[in-house]
Chains A and B, each alone.
Chain A
Amino acid sequence: MSETVKHSLMFAFVGLLLILDGTTSYGIFSGSWNSSLGILNMGLVSAIMALGVNLQWGFAGLFNVGIMGFTALGGLAVVLVTSAPTPGAWSQGGVGIIMALILGALTVVAAVFVTKNMAAGKPRMLVLAGILIGGFFAYRAIFDPAVSGVEAINPALLGSLGGLGLPVLLAWPAGGLLAAGAAWLIGKTALGLRSDYLAIATLGIAEIIIAVLKNEDWLSRGVKNVVGLPRPMRKEIDLQEDPGFLDTVASLGLDPVTASTLYVKISYSLLFTAVLLVLLWMAQMALKSPWGRMMRAIRDNEAASEAMGKDVTRRHLQIFVLGSAICGIAGAMMTTLDGQLTPGTYNPLRFTFLIWVMVVVGGSGNNFGAVLGGIFIWFFWIKVEPMGAGLINIITSGMADDSALKLHLLESTAHMRLFTMGLILLLVLRFSPRGLIPEK
């Protein structure tokens, strides 16, 4: 069996799992197309994230554990681009906030300028401290009243700056840009040092991005969440009232409610597949290009590449920014799919480490592997719970119904997920470190 056939069969197998989930309700399968398409949609988003991480890890060997942060920034972009501007927010303090942020940025720039242009020593320390402390207090003096102005506007419903009211599809590239900006900042400081430092720095930036989203109400309403974000297609409710749609559904013999949800989900699947295919094509072209060969050469032997005149740190920065941008796009897509931004639900185990499992299982260094891993592991992540519940039921079938151990075990099945994912990661790293579809 040739490699291509084998790999196509793997994709077919994942497709079969999804079809089975839609058609039969035997065992772990749900028998509902709604659930199956739901898994597929999140699987496609995960596949895009995995593609971004594969770019960083598979091509360049960069270890990014801040995927959650970049995804969340993508989600923020959706809010900032699509939601309607809050009436009066700009006059109440929006301008002040922007001015304060510019002032903050200028402070940092001034500090960097002083560091670069003054001779090291006591005077430099004093000037630097003066700039930073003065800048910080000036920033707070402008920022705080502006923020309370904005947050005072109808806090139960609005209380944030709102967005630009643009079409939602524009938010996806915007999410990529936002994530790229954050990645540039973090890459600039942590790249070029030991590899673990990037991991720790990205771990930190992700936590901070989530903290900002949770606490800066003027930006994203914080933990009050932003709901009802616009969608790129019509809503189920509108469809159910559209006579044309109802006629089509009736002629197909479907229930209008189910049909409308399926319509929305299938539209998302098609849209996401299109984005995935474009990104996959780009990643493949990049991998095969001289640039891709250079990246892999750097990954395999940094010293030799440096001797050949390659600027390793710059190339690393470049690919780190690109990969993070892809994660940002995926994050924006996910928020669009959910229709809401809920900063409280971002959890590093789910949004960072699960993506790593996808990349490693799929095959690091191979774009198709990342896509396969993304969809397959997402399916598995959803289905581990029913599997675990089944397993525990079998184990505990001999116990008395009221035994404390049995009740505890049944209650804890939800936590089997993390354990299983860790086990899969360890097993793949140990016995098949190149993954399902290895790098060529």
Chain B
Amino acid sequence: MTRPAWLAQLWTLAPVLAALLLTSLLLVAFGASPAEAFSAMWQGAFGSQDRLLTTVAFWIPLLLSALGLLVSFRAGLWNIGIEGQFILGAIGASWVALSLQLPAPLQISLEVLAAMAAGALWAALAGLLKRWGVHEIFGGLALNNLAVILTNFMISGPWQPPEGGSFRGTAPFHADALLPLVGSTRFSLVALALAGLAFGLVLLALRNSRWGLRLKALGRNPRSARLLGVSSRRETLLAMAFCGALAGLGGALRVLSWFDSLRQSISGGIGYLALMVVILAAFRLFWTPLVAFFFASVLSGSIVLQLRTQLHSSLGDILTGVMVLLVLLFGNREVLQTWWSEVRSARRTPGRQS
């Protein structure tokens, strides 16, 4: 019985390879050489120590958002509003950075706390809307757009740099407000430590806590969870706020280490990307950092690809998107076998068709 197990392992790779193949075809159609393109992406992601650290710096906020989503998905919530929670975190951190001037450790702690509070608040708002009958997908989506509009308003209004807003961002924060970076990269050890801490926290919450069990009950079957005494209102709000706080932390790291100020597209879709990461990781905790790192490499690679080949940088999003879609559809061999046997039995008995 070793052969089926071995085959099943191999099968998970098939959609991934198919995604690479499809993206290659797309490249050929646009007159680019896939080999050159993928090697440019590889160089862009891992070509030098600085590049690698930049990839890691991109990975950290993505990982934090994905970790938060593991918790909200566990409660059965489609927290599409994570993009807005990420942005609110960036705004919260910027607010402290622009209005206070304290010694660095205190300043940064306050920035991070403000960011987490802002993200949690924005998420709780989506949770409240859900309680009032608005599905979290629609509530979250509206809140995402409002968060982008709020950013633009702050940049072009109250936080406009004194010399005028040609830059489409606030003035750079003062040095004590920013995270210490390694060399000339955007990588910060503090950010990495925070991400490690968050991973431990999510591990504890999901694996070893009563709260994790309550969320699981709620996510699996809300009706029987209520019979067990799980308050769906409270747990929904808490799970959303937890996820929002982690996303907010990601947003803070984005302004405090990746950039040095609040910018127009501060997130650039990291929240949506985190949703894709979690779907591809099939909501498994230990797969999440790996998949997130793969996404981060593809995206930082595709920026270099754009510089070298003039091709639109959305190629990276296409590669990851096709991969997630194919894995979602065809990643599970048992599901496919069930489907195939259904198709065959439907053919054998043409009288009962549907």
| B and A form one assembly | no
